[in-house]
Amino acid sequence: MAGEKHMSLLAQAATLLLFFASVFGSTGPGSRENLGASRIPSQFSEEERVAIKEALKGAIQIPTVSFSYEKSNTTALAEFGEYIRKAFPTVFRSSLVQHEVVAQYSHLFTVQGSDPSLQPYMLMAHIDVVPVSEEGWEVPPFSGLERNGFIHGRGALDNKNSVMAILHALELLLIRNYSPKRSFFIALGHDEEVSGTKGAQKISALLQARGVQLAFLVDEGSFILEDFIPNLKKPVAMISVTEKGSLNLMLQVNMTPGHSSAPPKETSIGILSAAISRLEQTPLPNMFGNGPLKKTLKLLANEFSFPANIVLGNLWLFRPIVSRLMERNPITNALVRTTTALTMFNAGIKENVIPPLAQATINFRIHPSQTVQEVLELVKKIVADDRVQLRVLRSFEPLPVSPSDDQAMGYQLLQQTIQSVFPEVNIIVPGICIANTDTRHYASITNGMYRFNPIFLQPQDFRSIHGINEKISVQNYQNQVKFIFEFIQNADTYSQPAPHLHEL
Ligand X SMILES: *[C@@H]1O[C@H](CO)[C@@H](O)[C@H](O)[C@H]1NC(C)=O
Number of Cβ atoms within 10 Å of the Cβ of 260: 11
Element of type H or E holding 457? strand 456-457
Identify the three-state secondary structure at position 184.
strand
CA-angle at 491, arms to 408 and 198, nearest 5°: 80
Tell me 180's DSSP state.
-
d(CA 276, CA 266): 15
Least distance in Å: CB of 194 to ligand X? 15
d(CA 71, CA 77): 12
Least distance in Å: CB of 62 to ligand X? 6
In the bound complex, which residue of the shown chain has the CB atom lying closest to ligand X?
A: 76
Least distance in Å: CB of 167 to ligand X? 19
Alpha-helical runs (H) found in 303-371: 308-313, 315-326, 330-336
- When the beta carbons of 75 and 389 are compared against ligand X, the nearer one is 75
Type of residue numbered 26 = S
Least distance in Å: CB of 57 to ligand X? 15
Least distance in Å: CB of 77 to ligand X? 8
Collect all residues with Cβ–Cβ distance below 8 Å to 137 and sequence separation of at least 6: 152, 468, 469
Least distance in Å: CB of 322 to ligand X? 46
- When the beta carbons of 78 and 206 are compared against ligand X, the nearer one is 78
- When the beta carbons of 4 and 134 are compared against ligand X, the nearer one is 134
Least distance in Å: CB of 159 to ligand X? 18
Least distance in Å: CB of 468 to ligand X? 17
d(CA 325, CA 323): 5
Task: Return residues touching ligand X (CB under 6 A).
Answer: 62-63, 65, 73, 75-76, 79
338 phi, psi to nearest 5 deg? -75, 125
- When the beta carbons of 75 and 114 are compared against ligand X, the nearer one is 75
CA-angle at 249, arms to 244 and 250, nearest 5°: 165
- When the beta carbons of 62 and 428 are compared against ligand X, the nearer one is 62
The number of CA neighbours under 13 Å toward the Cβ of 443 is: 14
Element of type H or E holding 251? strand 245-254
Element of type H or E holding 200? helix 200-209
Element of type H or E holding 175? helix 160-175
- When the beta carbons of 76 and 122 are compared against ligand X, the nearer one is 76
Closest Cα partner for 345 from 251, 264, 260, 266? 251
- CA-based end-to-end distance of the chain: 63
- When the beta carbons of 77 and 238 are compared against ligand X, the nearer one is 77
Strand pairing class (217-219; 121-126): parallel
Which residues are marked as active site?
128, 192
- When the beta carbons of 134 and 351 are compared against ligand X, the nearer one is 134
Tell me 99's DSSP state.
E
d(CA 268, CA 286): 31
Its sign, for the CA torsion 46, 48, 51, 55, is negative
